[in-house]
Structure 1
């Protein structure tokens, strides 16, 4: 497998069948793509497997044209091979507005990204490649959405989550790799997106570099946590349409100069090392553990019969610490987005600096660790956690830090607090 993956860094051009043969044991959905149908109006070339093969060929041509190599070429090729893997999970038939039955794949980009999140680590890819592939797969429809919205904030939001030049190349390959009547118009839209991103100054660059510089200079005498709260809170407010310039972010954070709470929320399947990491890295933080509260109320950590009461108790304990501007960590799996939204929403309501810690071990590691854990989890429960996982996106919190199975940090560049919160 290493030889196959290394070939993608240079001049290798394996076809889709080679991806199935080499990576199918890690990504079994690859074998289902040739049997996954597509709507003939938008994909007259046929099934998803056929489409993926065409996209791969176009990606190789674009990689040669742009003289890509190393991590960049490997990232583009893997994204091309995997961009529609979520269609195997989401494709169905449903009537459109006129009553005509159509083939649709709702949210397949997001589902594909989440499917890959705990499986791609099995391949031993460099961290930068792993997270870039996930970003390209998860955002490969967002380019058109940003174009439709058209605002600077929409372009910035996308640019801080994914490499726009690579996303553009993937979308060109995706569009050329399909048979549809509007192919020329789609390619023209992509070119317009590139021009607009360049005009906005977000093409291949940090979209908030000016914000970082100005806020950092203005708050040079303050703690790095306060600077993060001001900058990242300002970014979220800007992307929500609440403010336009960094000076407004500084003004909005003025009250926090007297003090503010810190909230850390964990995300990862059972056995990914969350609780042990908290004990080692955040000894001064109060811990709100849903498992511990279940044990208090039912006598068993795994008892799900009083989940409503458990959640209410956890929320109240969280509020107590937030009210006194304390430091607190919400320790739970939180692999679903709606579960994470509960503590993160409360944190934002109380003006906390929110940090999302994402544990991303390989699937084999999760199942391999389980038998030796103090509190084992049924294999069926672990499988459900992974299958239903909704892998986080950056805008869910002020700061995000990814930890692989060895607790190696892969947080976003520029976050000094990736080395600790104290």
Structure 2
């Protein structure tokens, strides 16, 4: 269970039953768009996405499990239900399936998670831990419905426990089912109950799964032949520290204060030393090439170092981390975050200012580092 020192709520959006939907719609104007988004009649006979969203929120508030939660957990779940289908507005389309025209919304949960993170970060300065619970609940809200049918259901519930609270996830999924009209509602609820039992069996129902070591966690999440309780001998002899964060967040300052004794491979430094244009694709390719050459010199010597770049997406990080792991490095990601307003102020005070619109664009693409990416992750936020 998370602990927040002071109460945090979005102004005008209170959990008081009956809900004041006029105030909620006024605060979240994107809800209006959902009124025009249709849904497949087989799964959603209730109609448009907005109607479904209201029914899901109302179903959540009636749950006894919800009433038993503390106020912070209630607010996290309340906003998660409100946001859970936000990107059906951008992903809904018609497809021919088995000779029939169907309405589908592929990847709406994944895209929705990014949208939620962006809104809560940019507009509401939501505390990091609360925001990430909401974003990850939106990302995973369909998991309890299909986890039991996956190749490795145990791994699915263990992974989700590292991202959010599985009990809350189950409550969101049940609300999602109860807040719709469909023929197979009982079958879906039964699948969710199997998800619940599997989480409890793995002791990750309302807490993260406990691994024997961080190394064991990394191996389990990245390989199919490792048991979750495996405690491997740690044969990693040196560490590579990967910085991640928006321009202006203070990565250079953090390194100077905490990691000054480490050699550093820095994309920005390479770019400046060679007077490369950051908007030139060929120049950027050269920066990457030179950085890899610098890194490989240190990797061959088994010498610890810092890799300093924005590293904002999982795909970008993976390209580098796979290189480091190939050399048997222990990889630690340090993710830095501050309120957006403070980041923009710090950026304007730097010698090399990044255009504000670039930072705002990058902020919408952030993938918060997850535990499958590295042996250790530190989140340094405020």
Fold conserved between structures, TM > 0.5: yes
Aligned equivalent of 1:237, options 215, 219, 223 = 219
Match of 2:242 in 1: 265
Match of 1:21 in 2: 26
CA–CA distance in 2 between the matches of 1:380 and 1:343? 26
> Does 2:313 match 1:311?
no
CA–CA distance in 1 between the matches of 2:343 and 2:92? 31
Residue aligned with 1:249, SS? coil
CA gap 1:124/1:188 in 2 versus in 1, 3 angstroms:
same
Residue aligned with 1:292, SS? helix
Cα deviation for residue 108 of structure 1 reads 2.1
Residue aligned with 1:395, SS? coil
> Does 2:148 match 1:147?
yes
Worse overlay, 151-160 or 48-57? 151-160
Residue aligned with 2:76, SS? helix
CA contact (8 A) 1:139 1:162 kept: no
CA gap 1:8/1:382 in 2 versus in 1, 3 angstroms:
closer
> Does 2:62 match 1:61?
yes
Cα deviation for residue 263 of structure 1 reads 1.7
CA contact (8 A) 1:344 1:354 kept: yes
> Does 2:265 match 1:283?
no
CA–CA distance in 1 between the matches of 2:125 and 2:361? 24
Residue aligned with 2:176, SS? helix
Q: Count residues with an aligned counterpart.
A: 373
CA–CA distance in 2 between the matches of 1:84 and 1:104? 12
Aligned equivalent of 2:198, options 171, 184, 196 = 196
CA gap 1:273/1:309 in 2 versus in 1, 3 angstroms:
same
CA gap 1:180/1:21 in 2 versus in 1, 3 angstroms:
same
> Does 2:25 match 1:43?
no
CA gap 1:206/1:334 in 2 versus in 1, 3 angstroms:
closer
- Spell out, residue by residue over 1:216-265, the C-alpha distance to the aligned partner (whole angstroms, 9 max, x if none): xxxxxxxxxxxxxxx22212322322222645522xx3x33xxx221222
CA contact (8 A) 2:265 2:305 kept: yes
Question: More helix by proportion, 1 or 2?
Answer: 1
Cα deviation for residue 165 of structure 1 reads 0.8
CA contact (8 A) 1:175 1:187 kept: yes
Match of 2:53 in 1: 52
Worse overlay, 167-176 or 363-372? 363-372
CA contact (8 A) 1:264 1:354 kept: yes
Q: Within 5 Å, give how 1:123-134 maps onto structure 2.
A: 123-134=124-135
CA–CA distance in 2 between the matches of 1:333 and 1:312? 17
Cα deviation for residue 100 of structure 1 reads 4.1
Match of 1:372 in 2: 349
Match of 2:116 in 1: 116
CA–CA distance in 2 between the matches of 1:10 and 1:43? 25
CA–CA distance in 2 between the matches of 1:366 and 1:305? 29
Cα deviation for residue 311 of structure 1 reads 1.0
Match of 1:419 in 2: none
CA–CA distance in 2 between the matches of 1:38 and 1:197? 31
Match of 1:228 in 2: none
**TM-score between both structures, scaled by the size of structure 2:** 0.86
CA gap 1:361/1:244 in 2 versus in 1, 3 angstroms:
same
**TM-score between both structures, scaled by the size of structure 1:** 0.78
Cα deviation for residue 378 of structure 1 reads 2.5
Match of 1:392 in 2: 369
Q: Within 5 Å, give how 1:247-266 maps onto structure 2.
A: 247=230, 249-250=232-233, 253=234, 255-256=235-236, 260-266=237-243
CA–CA distance in 2 between the matches of 1:232 and 1:288? 25
- Spell out, residue by residue over 1:305-364, the C-alpha distance to the aligned partner (whole angstroms, 9 max, x if none): 412121121122122222222222222222222211111111222222222222333444
Cα deviation for residue 385 of structure 1 reads 1.4
> Does 2:336 match 1:359?
yes
- Spell out, residue by residue over 1:185-204, the C-alpha distance to the aligned partner (whole angstroms, 9 max, x if none): 11111112112222233222
CA contact (8 A) 2:248 2:347 kept: yes
Match of 1:415 in 2: none
Cα deviation for residue 101 of structure 1 reads 4.1
Give the unaligned 5+ runs of structure 2. Answer: 1-6
Match of 2:3 in 1: none
Q: Within 5 Å, give how 1:187-226 maps onto structure 2.
A: 187-208=189-210, 211-212=211-212
Match of 2:380 in 1: 403
Cα deviation for residue 42 of structure 1 reads 2.1
Match of 1:80 in 2: 81
